[in-house]
Amino acid sequence: MLLVDDRALPDFKGIQTSDPNAVVIGLAPEHFHYQILNQAFRLLLDGAPLIAIHKARYYKRKDGLALGPGPFVTALEYATDTKATVVGKPEKTFFLEALRGTGCEPEEAIMIGDDCRDDVGGAQNVGMLGILVKTGKYRAADEEKINPPPYLTCESFPHAVDHILQHLLSSSV
């Protein structure tokens, strides 16, 4: 059962969905209503695994902040006494997979993001530096929500890049 945005469906090409044996949840506001969530609930009660592409609490839309998939995943976890397998941020495997093949160790990488927990916290949990930017879905005092706090909090992405170029790269670059 794919509860994902229609634009993500090509990523699941070849997966049979007529008789679902798992529940996969991504960012899909059009699917987060009682009837669909109750179908997912029943599949989970019958033993289907719950797979979350990520558990973001909220995201930024043009009209303001909106609930992300996290609250819906958490509701299904609670209702079925199960735990989702999270395959995206903030899971360590997500960040390590992103680095695979780059020749870069986590300690040599920097994550710039507007989500304190999922972007910055997740990156820092694998040893990367995390820079929080006050854009997008950032809210005042987000940097106080994780421990350790972000390596740095910047006004914007360009400010973060400037800091990296001026303070973190060797002069030979």
Closest among 122, 2, 107 to 50, alpha carbons compared: 2
Q: What is the pLDDT of residue 169?
A: 84
Segments making up each domain of the chain, as ranges = 2-86, 103-168
27: which DSSP letter? S
**Domain 103-168, what fold?**
Rossmann fold (3.40.50)
Residues sharing a CB contact under 8 Å with residue 46, sequence separation 6 or more, in sequence order: none
Same CATH fold assignment for domains 2-86 and 103-168: yes
Stated pTM of the model: 0.85
How many other β-carbons are positioned within 10 Å of the β-carbon of residue 46?
9
Q: What CATH number was assigned to the domain covering residues 2-86?
A: 3.40.50.1000
Average pLDDT per consecutive 10 residues, the chain (173 residues; last block may be shorter):
95 93 95 96 98 95 95 98 96 96 96 97 97 96 96 98 91 47
- The per-residue DSSP string of 122-155 comes to HHHHTT-EEEEESSTT--TTGGGGSSSPPSEEES
- The b/e string for 7-41 (b: 16+ C-beta within 10 A; e otherwise) is eeeeeeeeeeeeeeebbbbbbbeebbeeeebeebb
Q: What is the pLDDT of residue 171?
A: 52
Return d(Cα 99, Cα 169) in angstroms, integer. Answer: 18
User: Rounded to 5 degrees, what are φ and ψ at 131?
Assistant: -115, 120
